[in-house]
Structure 1
Amino acid sequence: MNGRTYEEVATGEELPPLPIPLTRTLIVATAIASRDYQDVHHDPGLAVERGSTDIFMNILTTNGLVDRYVTEWAGPAAVVTAIRIRLGVPNYPGDTMTLTGTVTAKHDEDRRVEIAVRGENGLGAHVTGTVAVRLPAKDAT
């Protein structure tokens, strides 16, 4: 499996979109896997009592999906150095979140690339943020 090298990446480059179906199973299983037992992530009745339309995805899952999105594009030699995200509208079951990204900066001193990431669903922006990733040099692959 090959990945990207620092030299191959250009500022302004767009990452391919990644649609993620938001199933009830995905939302519940990932909340449990991340040890987030808050009822709003698995109990529809209690989520509604607390003011939500339905159960919704937790931030740990969103963070993991953002990481997956960038590392699948960058490849196995990439090292994520920072993820900074902000949540917007909830991810509810039955919708699809589509992740998109754009390379916004390159830092020659440490081969670090910054990527602006956005995750949209039917309600709007679920997640926005920046991921910094260090890529290998061309001669290192």
Structure 2
Amino acid sequence: MTTFDEVNIGDALPRLEIPLTRTLIVATAIASRDFQDVHHDPALAVERGSEDVFMNILTTNGLVDRFVTSWAGPASVVKAIRIRLGAPNHPGDTMVLTGEVTGKDADRGCVRIAVTGENSRGAHVTGTVDVHLPAEEEPA
């Protein structure tokens, strides 16, 4: 578990590599009730100008949340996620998420994490996550 007091501005989060399989892209689109054909039908995605199906923003948002909360621990609470999409995530690639602590708000017990997710085409996602961390680790 990560506590507010042990985190410093400039701390890097451990990178997370996510293989972008067709199954991941299609299943997470369906699970998030995003039935747009560009997320599950390769022929229609190509017809609409894409090279293949691509990941939806809801999945990207969830993966950013997972990245930060895996580092922060089960006592953390995500307060805000602000992301912007760039290069698409297509099957067969890998997205690498990295992050850095860029701010601390002692009044709220929150830290701000700058997050980037890159694939072979460039930045797929950039943004920030505000996460509340416990003040100190509870005794076992």
Measured against the shorter chain, the TM-score band is: over 0.9
Tell me by how many angstroms 1:110 deviates.
1.3
- Name the structure 2 match of 1:39: 37
Tell me by how many angstroms 1:140 deviates.
4.4
- Name the structure 1 match of 2:125: 127
Secondary structure of the residue aligned to 2:34 is coil
- Name the structure 2 match of 1:61: 59
> Whole-Å Cα distance in 2 between the matches of residues 81 and 110 of structure 1?
10
> Whole-Å Cα distance in 1 between the matches of residues 59 and 22 of structure 2?
13
Q: Which amino acid aligns with 2:52?
A: D
- Name the structure 2 match of 1:137: 135
Alignment of 1:72 onto 2:84: no
Aligned residues: 139
Gaps of 5+ in 1: none
Q: TM-score, normalised by structure 2?
A: 0.98
Tell me by how many angstroms 1:139 deviates.
5.4
Q: Which amino acid aligns with 2:67?
A: Y
Q: TM-score, normalised by structure 1?
A: 0.97
> Whole-Å Cα distance in 2 between the matches of residues 108 and 11 of structure 1?
12
> Whole-Å Cα distance in 1 between the matches of residues 22 and 6 of structure 2?
38
Gaps of 5+ in 2: none
Q: 1:59-118, CA deviations, whole angstroms, 9 ceiling, x for partnerless residues?
A: 000000000000000000000000000000000000000000000000111110000000
> Whole-Å Cα distance in 2 between the matches of residues 104 and 49 of structure 1?
41
Secondary structure of the residue aligned to 2:58 is helix
* Alignment map for 1:1-141 (pairs within 5 Å): 3-138=1-136, 140=138
